[in-house]
Structure formats: structure tokens, C-alpha cells
Amino acid sequence: MKIIPLLLMPAFLINCAYATSIFNSDIENLIATLKAPTPVISDLKQLTDEIGARLTGTQANKKSVNWALKKFHEAGVTAKKESFTMPRAWSEKTISAKVFNGQINFSPRIVAMPFTKKTHYRGLSAKIVNLNKGSVADFEKMNIDDHLADKWLLIETDILDDERGISGLFQEYNNAVIIEEQALSVKATGIIYMSSRPKNLLYRHLPSSGVNNKLAIVVMERESALRTQRLLNSGESLKLTAKINILGEKPYQANNVVAEIKGDTYPDEIVLIGAHIDSFDLGTGALDNGANVSLVIDLARQITKLAITPKRTIRFVLFNGEEQGMYGSWGYTQTHRDELDNHVLAATIDIGTGAITGFFINGREEIRATIDSVLHPDAELGSFSQIIDPVVGTDNYDFMMQGIANLVANQADANYASNYHAQSDTFEKVDQQQLKLNAAIMGATILGIANLEQIPWQRQTSEQVVKMVEKYNLEQAMKTFGLQQSWQENKRGIQH
């Protein structure tokens, strides 16, 4: 009887080697296919040029969801829409501004920051105070005898170009937390941010209090803001009247798109790759994040076309409501709460088409070696290093806060920062060749993890998630995106 295992062992080893060879071959074939011509660029052109900007709650956003669903179905991939609640509708219908006194009168271009409320039809008028950079010291210096109450506060910004890059963008968000807290405390009428982009470029992004924003906040084209600042510094007294017409305010339902390819060995275990399909409404959302929506769709398409059957289920999710506070990915974790234990990993990509240089592993040191190993199938794709620091600000957040191992693609800055949420975020800004290489990298990573024999990590416990938050001081980052309160009140993330 003892001889049977000895006789069987060579065959067993041959079968294991054969299986490993098949899985490696699958990854190599997928990489080669994704690097070759595919519809990823034509998909992106359709999404950005034909549908355009995709602010959650708008008709264009709904059209994009149906478009993506159709793309998955045409590729032979099982897909559906999943609804979730957006807490507050918001879109800018019309906006105008006038800077004036008895002798001076001009109309600068402005846009409202999200969740700024509608003004009276006559507009919101108040004197303008030049508050320099809006530091705590600036507020203390200027607020003698409540000088800042009922005033528009003009905030000077540094130019955000591609040399300052993503670090400069994060600094802009961090500065806004201080400015907006202080402005609310001094009972200012509102904030006028000088656009950080030159040549009259406008943009908008989420205020630090998110959907709970109570301030009037606008961005003024840089050149007009500098003109206003010079006039104030020369001793002129100026007023601003802003007329802001907003659609919405009430909660509503939006949809994610959820597609999947079933695994054949561990079908209940899920490896997720996601990108957000929504965008802000000034450009057409090519870099942020249409390019990576097209990447996710094409990855599903090519795996299906090659008849690759992964060991684990691969789920492809196009999240909605990301720009307003990652509501789609939060909604996903609520809808799928009963199967979160089966989510092996969730990966997201959201930094335009800069070259992927590795991944943020978001406090999960135990996954580093595995990610290193799956990123070696094709040396032509580059060298990669993983970063331990957790990311707050994109759709990995709710997976991280639920204790699920998660990745965010770390990408070269490229031209992401200068076009961030701006009118200039359009199709021609996309690095088409790099987008295809990024697709190959994401494909190798996702399929490699889906085909692991064993997963050497588990979902974190509540205690481990809390320790991670404390270790990396994540509550400060949460404040930047209006997320701290929901964590503290146990409304978001793992129950703690």
C-alpha cells in the first residue's frame, strides 16, 4: 500500500508543472494581446468624445453606464448594473460673477466647487478681502474685530504644473482643509480660490467637508484673481457678486457596472479590479478616469477572447460617484457585505496614463512579496517597487477600511496634475502607448493573483484596521475628503 504514493508522485509533479506552465502561458498571452492593437483607444474616444463629461446624476453619466454595460456584453462578459444611494445631487447649471466698485467693473470667469448651494437670483454679494495664502496666521492677522465675517475671502494659490505634480495636488487639498475650516469659523460669506492653473484654466474638486459643505466656494480664473488681488493691494475696495444656479440637492440612486469572469477552482474567491466611470463636468474625463475605464473593459474583453479561465473569479467594477466622495465603491461594499470575506484583493487605477511603477499596498506588508512575484512575467514592462503607505482619496478606500487587501496603481505624474478636473482633461492628453502598457501590467497582476495556488494573507480584523488607521494617521487624510466623521461614527468601514 505504501508504494502507491511513490508511484503516483512523478505524475503528480508532472501535472503540477503542466498546470503552472498553462497559467504562466495564460499570463504571457494576455500581456502580448494587451500590448497589441485592441479596441481600448477607440473605446476611450467614444466615451470621451461622444458621451463626454460624466458627472454622477447627469444624463451623460447614465449614458456612460449603459455604454459600459453594452461593451462588457458585446465582449461576452457577464455584467449588470448595481444601484447605490448618492446622498446629495449637485450640478452647476449657470454661474456668473462681477467684481466692482464705483469706478471698476469686470466679470471674471468662475466655477463653483461641488455642493456649493444655489444663490438668490440677485446673487451673493459681499466685500472681498485678500487673505494671501489663507494660512492660520493670515486668518489671525486679518480677523481683528471680526473683520472677515460676511466677506468673500480671496485665496492665493501656487501654480500647479506637472513639475509640482501629484505632490503639489495633495498639498492643495491639504491647504483647503485649513482654509475651509477657518472660513467657516469666522463666518465668511465664501471663498474665492485663485485658480492654480494659468491661462484662464478652470477646474473643480471636492471641498474638504464633502457633501456637508456649507460654504459658497468658487474658483476664479487665475489672471482675473491676480488682477483683483493687485487692485486690493493698491487700496481699492471691491465687492464680488456671484450668481450660482445649481440643480439638485436631494438624495438619488446611481449605478455601478459590475462584470465578472468566474473562476473554475475557487469560484467563490474574488479578485477585483476597478476604475471610476464618473468624472467632473468641465473637460471630458479622459485622464480622470476614462482611460482606465477603457483599460478595465479591455482587460475583461481580452481574457474572454483568449478563453482564459482563472482559478478565482475576477470581478471588473466601474464605480460611480467617486468624485463626490467614493460613494460607488462604498455602495459596493454595502451591497456585497456578505461576501467581503471572499474578496482576496481589490485593485484600483486612477492616476491618468502615467507609467505604472508599482503599487501602493496600503499598509499590507504581507502582500508585498506576492505582488513582486506576479510583476515579473515580462521584463519589458519595466521595474516595479511597492509602497507601503495607505492611499485615501480613491476607490480602494472602503475596501481598505473593511480590512480587504487592496492595491492602488502608483503611476508617474506625467500630465495628470496640470489637467486634473480641468477643462483640459480631454482625449488628446492621453498617452495611448502607455495606456496599453499599463493594461498589460494590470492584467499580469490581476490574473497572477487570481491564479495563485494559495493566498498568503487574510482579511484584517476590526482591531487590525483600527491599528492601521492609527499607525498611518489616516484620520488626517480622511479630513481632506470629508471622510473622518463617517469613520468616527462607525457609519463607514468595518464595525469598530
18 pLDDT tier (thresholds 50, 70, 90): very low
Cα-Cα end-to-end distance for the chain: 54
The reply to whether 95 and 71 lie within a common domain is no
pLDDT digit string, tens, across residues 418-460: 999 999 999 999 999 999 999 999 999 999 999 999 999 999 9
Contact yes or no for 348/395 (Cβ under 8 A): yes
The reply to whether 353 and 482 lie within a common domain is yes
What is the reported pLDDT for 377? 65
The reply to whether 102 and 69 lie within a common domain is no
* Domain endpoint, select from 247, 277, 309: 247
The reply to whether 325 and 435 lie within a common domain is yes
* Domain endpoint, select from 232, 247, 262: 247
pTM: 0.94
145 pLDDT tier (thresholds 50, 70, 90): confident
What is the reported pLDDT for 321? 98
The reply to whether 188 and 237 lie within a common domain is yes
Tell me how far apart the alpha carbons of residues 364 and 367 are, in angstroms, rounded to a whole number.
6
**Is 23 inside any structural domain?**
no
Contact yes or no for 468/390 (Cβ under 8 A): yes
Whether residue 3 is predicted with pLDDT greater than 50 in this model: the reply is: no
Average pLDDT over residues 6-21: 40
The reply to whether 151 and 125 lie within a common domain is yes
Whether residue 32 is predicted with pLDDT greater than 60 in this model: the reply is: yes
* Domain endpoint, select from 247, 273, 295: 247
Whether residue 12 is predicted with pLDDT greater than 80 in this model: the reply is: no
The reply to whether 243 and 274 lie within a common domain is no
What is the reported pLDDT for 19? 43
Average pLDDT over residues 112-122: 96
Whether residue 26 is predicted with pLDDT greater than 90 in this model: the reply is: yes
- CATH number, residue 201: 3.50.30.30
**Is 146 inside any structural domain?**
yes
pLDDT digit string, tens, across residues 161-184: 999 999 999 999 999 999 999 999
Average pLDDT over residues 101-107: 98
Range of the domain at 137: 91-247
**Is 367 inside any structural domain?**
yes
What is the reported pLDDT for 433? 98
The reply to whether 341 and 460 lie within a common domain is yes
Contact yes or no for 238/128 (Cβ under 8 A): yes
146 pLDDT tier (thresholds 50, 70, 90): confident
What is the reported pLDDT for 485? 95
Contact yes or no for 22/308 (Cβ under 8 A): no
Mean of per-residue pLDDT scores for the chain:
95
The reply to whether 51 and 137 lie within a common domain is no
Tell me how far apart the alpha carbons of residues 287 and 419 are, in angstroms, rounded to a whole number.
8
Contact yes or no for 390/439 (Cβ under 8 A): no
What is the reported pLDDT for 287? 99
DSSP 75-94: TT-EEEEEEEEES---EEEE
The number of folded domains in the chain is 2
Contact yes or no for 456/365 (Cβ under 8 A): no
